[in-house]
Amino acid sequence: MKKAASVRGIVLPMVLIVGLVLSVSIFSFLRRSLVDSMIARNHDRAAAAEMLARGGISVATAVVFHHAYGKLVGRMDDKHPGATLEDLYAQVGNSPLETGWGGVLIISIEDAGSRLNLNALVPTGRTEEESKPSEEAEEFLVEFLEKIIDEAHGEIATGTYEPREMARNLLDYLDPDDVGISGKPEREYYLNQIPPYAPSDGPLLSVEELGLIEGFDARIAARIEPYVTVYPLLGEVGINANTAPAHVLAILQHGSSGDMRFANEDIVGSILRKRQDGQIVCTQTESDSERCISFSEVGLGTGSIFPPIDLPQEAKAFRVISEAVVESVVRRVEAVIDISDRQNPQLLSWRQR
């Protein structure tokens, strides 16, 4: 009897231990199954969101293609000159698209001309002499960079940046020759970097490339980014005052030679109010007498603006942001589409996040 009691005393703990091990095993199995199920589900969501975001770029391409060439087949009013924020492409972002299976797609399309094209500051001549940047371009950049640094309010180290040198270095980076505006060899700084590289001597391919230029870094490039673009890569077209946001309108330089200045708050406000009234700024108001207003009517005076542009201006390059949401998963694709060639729209840039 004592032996039987002893055996029972051993078996009970063993049963409890085995039961505990089985419980832990079952719990671990269930937990692993749940985790695997969640991973698989998130993977499916991510794949769906990615494909939806990529599809948004195709939708945007169709929209901008229709905007540019629809009037050639009688689908748009001929008395609608140039790109404006009333166009279909600019309104797409106000209407999110919902799929039958729960996905949401938000497409934002922006006229690349609504920002300052840095590549337009250097002429695209056939010779080095014809491609030399002008004094106006240098003075514009100096004032622009001073504005950027002042508006940083100490978030970037003051005294670190020298606007005059930065302006010259940027123009030297873009122009095709090897001699800087100040007479120094353009390649010396770049060949001494680790690893060494050469200046572009041609158009910038991205705004981030600013960080590679002597006197610039990633912080100042990030500050500049909301104001600028690099598209189109070739050409000398200035800011489209009919699509530019307020902060870009504030860098419209106007006046006469030797007395150029940025647009003040009154001018920016006047342009924005005229837009709300359905009017556009035009170089020649007779292009649409009902909608066109002159530079002087918004306070830009009777002189010129820099960089120069003939308004109204049609949009040929578009920055597209396609954002897809599937439950809690978000995927974003940023692209630049050029429709200068109606037969073959070009995808100039693609970034997926």
Of 303, 309, 312, 203, the closest CA to residue 295 belongs to: 303
Q: Centre a 10 Å sphere on the Cβ of residue 306 and count the other Cβ atoms it contains.
A: 21
Separation between Cα atoms, residue 269 and residue 275, nearest integer Å: 10
Separation between Cα atoms, residue 97 and residue 52, nearest integer Å: 10
Residues, the chain: 353
Separation between Cα atoms, residue 294 and residue 93, nearest integer Å: 30
Give 152's contacts (C-beta < 8 A, 6+ positions apart): 223
pLDDT of residue 259: 84
Separation between Cα atoms, residue 259 and residue 73, nearest integer Å: 45
Residue 288 is given by DSSP the state G
Q: State the amino acid at position 220 in one-letter form.
A: I
Separation between Cα atoms, residue 245 and residue 226, nearest integer Å: 10
298 CB-contact burial (10 Å; exposed 0-12 / middle 13-18 / buried 19+) = buried
DSSP 298-310: GT--SSEEES---
Separation between Cα atoms, residue 99 and residue 29, nearest integer Å: 35
Provide the CATH number for the domain formed by 119-238 in this structure: 1.10.40.60
Of 33, 112, 62, 107, the closest CA to residue 345 belongs to: 62
pLDDT of residue 75: 46
pTM (two decimals)? 0.84
pLDDT of residue 271: 96
28 CB-contact burial (10 Å; exposed 0-12 / middle 13-18 / buried 19+) = exposed
For helices 163-174 and 135-151, the axis angle rounded to 10 degrees is: 130
Q: Which pLDDT tens digits describe the chain residue by residue (353 residues)?
A: 555 555 556 766 776 677 677 676 676 666 666 666 666 777 888 999 999 999 999 999 999 888 777 655 554 455 556 889 988 899 998 889 999 888 999 999 999 999 999 999 998 877 777 888 899 999 999 999 999 999 987 777 666 899 999 999 999 999 999 888 988 899 999 999 999 999 999 999 999 999 999 999 999 999 999 999 999 888 888 999 999 999 999 999 998 877 899 999 999 999 999 999 999 999 888 877 888 999 999 998 877 889 899 999 989 899 999 999 999 899 999 999 998 887 788 899 999 97
Q: Which residues of 36-64 are buried (b: 16+ CB within 10 A; e: fewer)?
A: eeeeeeeeebeebbbebbbbbbeebbebb
pLDDT of residue 12: 65
Please count the CA atoms within 13 angstroms of the CA of 114 that sit on its side-chain side. 18
